[in-house]
């Protein structure tokens, strides 16, 4: 049923009824009056009364018709107003979405939505104004003007806009009349800040996963080299040992090779075990009280042996410095794990230094006790310094690595130091040497 036909039907019906009664009145009333009033004076008077009655009836009917129409119109206007109010309410409560309607001169006809409130903007600030009159920053104002002009030129457009730490997806289309002429433009702005941040996080996570995957592949290649080399050496020299008529000198040489390869293998295996213990939070510590000077002595002896075993060609002077050497200073830490840290620093210093010095140091700094290893070796590029404490990271990640090693040493060292409540820091300059320091906040007893 078409509701819009209803008022016309009523009007038509009323008009027809009115016509019918009017015709009846014109013809019927005259005859009735003539039959009732024979006296001419009375007749004339009654004719006048009849005219008046007719005019009154007509006026009442016209009044009723017009009144009915006005009331209907008012009702429609009321409903439209209420609808518009609801529309506005509905748009303004759309979370994260704004709707903008503007005429050909880029003057806002409608501007509403949940997103604009986040920036302290309201519909009143827009309506009747041009985009260039708004108090947005100049860059955004100019950008929107260009965007709206494209819409008014007849294009469907879409873009991303950043405004006050929010990211908006803009979508715009022209609005046309029945003759297909563009009469206005519509732009919808959707706040996609969270989605963009989520996308960024996902991209970062993906990059990190790929990066970790690359590192793991490099680590595995590296590891297989680190495991295979000593293992081959052990198998090879064990085979040679079983040969008859072997000179005593060769026998001793082969045994020494087997011993050093076994040591290297054990180091690699220990590294793997340590890193998995740290990562699964299963590394247990046992703190004991010990004299610092005893630890320093043992450290020096080990460093000297390591240096001798490392390479006869290296021209390195090993020195030991300690503010605490002469005191009977006692500290309480996991001695074995602390020693592991110091040995790792020392073996790196020996590995990456060809000539010059290596200094082992122990000193007090504020409320901390510090142990450091300084060398005059190859040093580390500033850009690489942040990475070397990450798992499997080495400055030299190519397959033709000169120095060997798993790339786990510093990660383990840092993990252990942090478990013990300490911190590791470093200072290095490429080509000039490095210093690695581990420090523990500690109460000492003398
Ligand atoms: P590894 O020594 O087994 O490769 P580490 O985690 O101990 O693994 O060290 C990571 C990297 O940090 C080394 O490969 C090296 O590039 C760099 N590095 C560590 N100590 C030193 C040092 N004293 N001098 C120069 N580079 C160092």
Q: Which of 432, 434, 413 is nearest to 423 (CA)?
A: 413
What's the CA-to-centroid distance between 391 and ligand 1, angstroms?
11
What's the CA-to-centroid distance between 107 and ligand 1, angstroms?
65
Q: Is the pLDDT of residue 115 over 90?
A: no
Name the band, by pLDDT with cuts 50, 70 and 90, for residue 244.
confident
Structure tokens at 51: 């005219």
**Relative to the CA of 410, which ligand 1 atom is closest?**
6
Ligand 1 surroundings by CB, under 6 angstroms:
348-349, 352, 375, 377-380, 388, 394-396, 405-411, 434
Contact 256, 266 (CB under 8 A): no
Name the band, by pLDDT with cuts 50, 70 and 90, for residue 4.
very low
What's the CA-to-centroid distance between 323 and ligand 1, angstroms?
27
Q: Kindly report the pTM of this predicted structure.
A: 0.56
Structure tokens at 118: 């986040």
Tell me which of 180-184, 219-223, 290-294 is least confident. 219-223
Q: 160 vs 85, 108, 143, 155, CA distance in Å?
A: 30, 21, 11, 16
Give the pLDDT confidence score for residue 333 in this predicted structure: 92
Give the pLDDT confidence score for residue 8 in this predicted structure: 63
What's the CA-to-centroid distance between 340 and ligand 1, angstroms?
15
Q: From CA 346, how far away is CA 368, in angstroms rounded?
A: 21
The residue contributing the CA closest to ligand 1 atom 11 is: 394
Q: From CA 45, how far away is CA 207, in angstroms rounded?
A: 106
Mean pLDDT of 110-128: 87
Give the pLDDT confidence score for residue 5 in this predicted structure: 43
Q: Which long-range contacts (C-beta less than 8 Å, at least 24 apart) are formed by 177-184?
A: 182/104, 182/152, 182/154, 183/103, 183/104, 184/101, 184/102, 184/103, 184/104, 184/109
What's the CA-to-centroid distance between 118 and ligand 1, angstroms?
50
Whole-number average pLDDT of the chain: 86
What's the CA-to-centroid distance between 407 and ligand 1, angstroms?
7
Mean pLDDT of 310-314: 74
Secondary structure class of 102 (helix, strand, coil): strand
Probe ligand 1: pick from 410, 415, 416, max atoms within 8 Å of CB?
410
Give the pLDDT confidence score for residue 323 in this predicted structure: 76
**Relative to the CA of 344, which ligand 1 atom is closest?**
7
Structure tokens at 126: 């827009």
**Relative to the CA of 411, which ligand 1 atom is closest?**
6
Structure tokens at 95: 């979370």
């Amino acid at each position: 049923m078409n509701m819009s036909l209803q008022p016309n039907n009523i009007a038509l019906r009323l008009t027809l009824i009115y016509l019918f009664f009017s015709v009846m009145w014109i013809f019927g009333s005259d005859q009735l009056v003539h039959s009732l009033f024979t006296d001419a004076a009375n007749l004339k008077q009654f004719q006048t009364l009849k005219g008046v009655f007719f005019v009154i009836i007509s006026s009442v009917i016209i009044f009723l018709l017009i009144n009915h129409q006005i009331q209907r119109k008012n009702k429609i206007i009321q409903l439209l107003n209420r609808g518009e109010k609801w529309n506005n309410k509905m748009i303004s409560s759309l979370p994260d979405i704004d709707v903008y309607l503007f005429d050909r001169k880029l003057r806002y006809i409608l501007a509403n939505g949940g997103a604009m409130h986040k920036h302290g903007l309201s519909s009143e600030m827009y309506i009747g104004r041009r985009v260039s009159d708004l108090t947005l920053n100049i860059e955004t104002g100019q950008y929107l003007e260009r965007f709206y002009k494209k819409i008014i030129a007849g294009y469907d457009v879409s873009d991303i806009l950043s405004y006050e730490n929010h990211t908006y997806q803009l979508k715009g289309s022209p609005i046309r009349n029945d003759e297909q002429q563009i009469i206005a433009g519509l732009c919808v702005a959707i706040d996609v800040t969270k989605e963009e941040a989520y996308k960024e996080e996902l991209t970062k996570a993906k990059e990190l996963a790929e990066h970790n995957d690359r590192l793991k592949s490099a680590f595995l290649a590296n590891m297989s080299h680190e495991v295979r080399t000593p293992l081959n050496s052990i198998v090879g020299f064990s085979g040679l040992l079983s040969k008859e008529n072997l000179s005593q000198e060769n026998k001793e040489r082969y045994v020494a090779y087997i011993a050093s390869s076994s040591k290297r293998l054990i180091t690699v295996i220990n590294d793997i075990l340590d890193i998995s213990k740290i990562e699964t939070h299963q590394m247990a510590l046992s703190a004991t009280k010990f004299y610092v000077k005893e630890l320093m002595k043992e450290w020096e002896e080990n460093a000297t042996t390591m240096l001798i075993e490392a390479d006869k060609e290296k021209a390195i002077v090993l020195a030991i410095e300690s503010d605490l050497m002469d005191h009977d200073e006692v500290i309480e830490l996991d001695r074995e794990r602390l020693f592991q840290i110091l040995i790792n620093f020392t073996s790196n210093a020996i590995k990456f230094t060809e000539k010059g010095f290596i200094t082992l140091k122990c000193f007090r700094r504020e409320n901390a006790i510090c142990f450091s290893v300084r060398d005059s070796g190859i040093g580390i590029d500033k850009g690489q310094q942040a990475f070397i404490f990450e798992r499997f990271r080495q400055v030299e990640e190519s397959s033709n690595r000169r120095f060997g090693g798993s790339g786990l040493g510093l990660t383990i060292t840092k993990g252990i130091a942090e478990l013990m409540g300490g911190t590791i820091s470093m200072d290095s300059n490429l080509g000039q040497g490095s210093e690695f320091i581990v420090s523990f906040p500690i109460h000492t007893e003398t």
